[in-house]
Every structure is written in structure tokens, then in C-alpha cells.
């Protein structure tokens, strides 16, 4: 997929693509085994390579690891629409490529009409599509709606940060204790192997008995080595979570105060699977912001029912415990976004 993609962007001939998922291929129709242009086109437009998949006409975010960056994938779609990436663009459209058509799955592009108004619409790359075009101002407003769910109070954010710090300390202590236990067990088994060998040489135990015990001990030592090798410090830090909590307090205010290009950057951090369907935007918050938003709404519901404020602990403790919900368990892409979050929050006074 990556080779075919890069060849297309460089204006070259698209060679038969590799099989990145190692799936069995049907036998070729021709002895040469060449892949048809139609098959290559289907591969280049398949969202599975960027972590999405289509089911019964709907586009969903998958849990598998993407093998092509979304920016590269979107560029390929624009190339397939007949646009050259080297072509000089007269206008810059902030939200182009950020949203997909909910009817056909094509990228939503933009154009300026009457020299004044910017409209976003489906590219119609896969044929006629009935999706309506929307003005940029309307699209920006709809894209900002999910951000209103992130209204975490300063008091609650401070409490969550403190809880995360304490839980991180507990986890590190538990991990250190487990490492000590594993190392002690390793030494004991290693010493046991020496005694077994001596017993074998002295004739105290049979060769068969020694072999069984030796194999069991060696297998256990291998398991311990593997456990110790996998026990590394997590990629996230409590400071990363603090930045995410800060953004969760002021996401919508930041969005309103930003220029469209910077609004897009915020949306790329916060939203996923944005679709334009029937002139309306459907978008979900990315993890862990969806977890935070759900907690905010659950706590607000408790307050409306007149429940004691202490009950809020039952809302947030499961979300703060990394052994359960993993509020701060960030993957590589999210860890990379933390630096952008810090810049976006720090460079605007709200």
C-alpha cells in the first residue's frame, strides 16, 4: 500500500502492491499474476489502511494499527480526484480533508463561490452523491459542537490530577515490588538447577526425573525473563494527563478564539470519524476525551438529582484507575499530540 501510494504521488507507474496484511490472495486470472488497475484503485481508496473500516455502508474507526498516515491517504484521494499536489492552490481551506461524506465515504473538499463564500461538499469521486454543500462558517460551528461536552471544572480537574498522581505512585511501587519478587524467584530457581545437577551426578535422582525438573525450571526462568523485559515504564506521565485535563476545561473557548487553521489543529486532536450527513456533522470525541466528557455528564446528572458531592467519587475513580478505564493510557499518536496541546493551551489566554 505504501509503495503504491508513494509511486502515485511521485507521478510514477503504480506497481502491483504488496500484501501488508499477509492475507492469502486468490489465484490470478492471467499467468502473469498482474494486478488490474481497478484492484489497485480499490486498494488506494480502502480506509482500512488508516485505521478505519466500512461496514454496511457506514464508516467506523477500527482498533487495528494504521499502516499509512491519514495525511498521506487523504493526499492520495485528492490525487485520484485529478488534483496534483504540486498544483498551486489559489485558496487555503482550513477544513478540507478533515471530514468525510457520510453517504459515500469520499473526502469533503471546498471551493470558493462568487469570490466570497466558501462551501464544503463531497468530491463525488465515486460517482454522483446527494450530500448537500455547507458554508464554512456553518461547518465550523457544527464541528465545534462536540467540544461543548468538555466543560470540566477547575476543582474537578485538580482532584482528578491529584488522584492520578497518587495512583501513578501506587502503580510504580507495586511494579517495583513485583520486579523484586521475580528477581528473587529467578535466583531461587537458578540455584535449584545447580542442586538438581549435583543430585543427578551423585545418582540421588534419575536422569528422567532430572530432565523433567530441568525443563520445568528452564521454562519458568524464560517466563520470568520475559516478564521483566516487558515491565517498562509507561509512555504516559501524570504531566501529560494534566495537560489533557487543562484542555478539557477550555476546549470550546480555545476553539472559538482560534483562526480556522488553528481550529483544525484542535479538531484533529479532539475529534474522530467526522462525517457530513444530510447537511449535519456527526463526530465523536477521541479517547481519552470521550471518557472525560462521559464523566462530566454523569456527575452533572447526579447533581441534578440532588445527590451528595461525595458521590462524584463513584463517577471519577473508575475513570482515574489505570487498572480499569485507563484515563491516561495514551498511545503513541496521543503522546505526540500532548506537545501540541501544551502549545495551543499556553499560547491563548482564556
Kindly tell me the burial class for residue 173, based on how many C-beta atoms sit within 10 Å of its own C-beta (0-12, 13-18, 19 or more). Answer: exposed
Same domain, 198 and 256: no
Given a contact cutoff of 8 angstroms between Cβ atoms, the answer to whether 328 and 241 are in contact is: yes
pLDDT tens for the 350 residues of the chain, in order: 445 444 444 444 444 444 444 444 445 445 555 677 777 777 888 888 877 777 666 666 667 778 877 778 877 877 776 654 444 444 579 999 999 999 999 999 999 988 789 999 999 888 889 999 999 999 999 999 999 999 999 988 888 888 888 877 888 888 899 999 999 999 999 999 999 999 999 999 999 999 999 999 999 999 999 999 887 766 555 567 788 888 999 999 999 999 998 999 999 999 999 999 999 999 999 988 998 999 999 988 888 888 876 677 778 877 765 444 344 444 434 444 544 554 445 444 43
> Do 51 and 68 lie in a common domain?
yes
In sequence order, which residues have a C-beta less than 8 Å from that of residue 26 and are 6 or more positions away? none
- Residue 287 inside a domain? The answer is yes
User: What integer pLDDT is reported at residue 32 of this predicted model?
Assistant: 53
Q: Are residues 258 and 190 in the same domain?
A: no
Same domain assignment for residues 264 and 329: yes
User: How many independent structural domains does the chain possess?
Assistant: 3
Helix (H) or strand (E) holding 81: none
**Domain that residue 202 falls in:** 171-230
Query: From CA 125, how far away is CA 82, in angstroms rounded?
Result: 9
Element at 276 (helix H, strand E): strand 271-277
Burial of 322 (0-12, 13-18, 19+ CB in 10 A): middle
Asked whether residue 243 falls in the same domain as residue 335, the answer is yes
What pLDDT is attached to residue 27?
Answer: 53
HSE (side-chain half, CA atoms, 13 Å) at 230: 8
**How confident is the model at residue 59, as a pLDDT?**
64
Domain-ending residue, one of 188, 207, 230: 230
Mapped onto helix, strand or coil, the DSSP state of residue 281 is strand
Q: What is the SS3 assignment for 34?
A: coil
**What is the residue whose three cell numbers read 456527526?**
282
User: ∠ CA 237-240-241 to the nearest 5 degrees?
Assistant: 95
Q: Are residues 241 and 328 in the same domain?
A: yes
Q: Identify whether 147 is part of a domain.
A: no
Residues whose CB is less than 8 angstroms from the CB of residue 290 and which lie 6 or more positions away in sequence, other chains included = 284
Note whether 246 and 295 are same-domain residues. yes
Residue 154 lies in a domain: no
CA pair distance 161, 92, nearest whole angstrom: 39
- The whole-number pLDDT of residue 22 equals 41
3-state secondary structure of 221: helix
Amino acid at each position: 500500500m505504501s509503495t503504491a501510494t508513494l509511486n502515485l504521488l511521485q507521478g510514477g507507474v503504480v506497481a502491483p502492491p504488496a500484501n501488508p496484511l499477509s492475507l492469502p490472495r486468490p489465484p490470478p486470472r492471467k499467468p502473469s499474476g498482474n494486478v488490474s488497475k481497478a484492484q489497485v484503485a480499490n486498494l488506494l481508496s480502502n480506509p482500512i489502511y488508516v485505521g478505519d473500516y466500512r461496514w454496511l455502508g457506514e464508516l467506523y474507526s477500527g482498533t487495528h494499527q494504521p499502516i499509512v498516515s491519514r495525511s498521506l491517504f487523504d493526499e492520495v484521494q485528492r490525487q485520484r480526484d485529478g488534483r496534483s499536489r504540486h498544483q498551486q492552490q489559489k485558496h487555503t481551506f482550513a477544513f478540507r480533508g478533515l471530514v468525510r461524506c457520510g453517504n459515500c465515504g469520499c473526502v469533503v473538499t471546498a471551493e470558493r463561490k462568487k469570490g466570497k463564500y466558501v462551501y464544503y461538499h463531497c468530491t463525488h469521486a465515486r460517482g454522483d452523491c446527494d450530500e448537500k454543500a455547507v458554508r464554512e462558517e456553518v461547518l465550523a460551528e457544527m464541528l465545534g459542537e462536540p467540544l461543548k461536552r468538555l466543560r470540566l471544572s477547575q476543582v474537578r480537574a485538580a482532584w482528578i490530577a491529584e488522584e492520578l498522581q497518587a495512583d501513578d505512585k501506587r502503580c510504580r511501587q507495586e511494579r517495583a515490588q513485583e520486579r523484586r519478587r521475580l528477581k528473587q524467584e529467578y535466583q531461587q530457581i537458578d540455584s535449584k538447577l545447580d542442586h538438581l545437577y549435583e543430585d543427578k551426578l551423585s545418582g540421588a535422582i534419575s536422569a528422567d526425573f532430572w530432565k523433567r525438573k530441568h525443563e520445568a525450571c528452564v521454562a519458568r526462568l524464560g517466563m520470568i525473563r520475559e516478564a521483566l523485559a516487558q515491565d517498562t515504564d509507561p509512555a504516559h506521565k501524570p504531566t501529560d494527563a494534566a495537560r489533557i485535563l487543562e484542555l478539557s476545561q477550555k476546549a470550546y473557548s480555545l476553539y472559538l478564539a482560534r483562526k480556522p487553521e488553528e481550529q483544525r489543529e484542535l479538531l484533529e486532536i479532539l475529534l474522530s470519524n467526522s462525517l457530513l450527513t444530510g447537511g449535519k456533522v456527526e463526530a465523536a470525541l477521541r479517547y481519552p476525551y470521550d471518557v472525560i466528557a462521559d464523566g462530566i455528564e454523569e456527575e452533572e446528572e447526579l447533581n441534578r438529582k440532588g445527590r451528595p458531592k461525595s458521590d462524584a467519587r463513584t463517577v471519577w475513580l473508575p475513570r482515574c484507575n489505570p487498572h480499569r478505564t485507563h484515563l491516561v493510557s495514551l498511545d503513541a499518536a496521543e503522546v505526540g499530540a500532548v506537545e501540541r496541546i501544551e502549545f495551543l493551551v499556553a499560547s491563548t489566554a482564556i
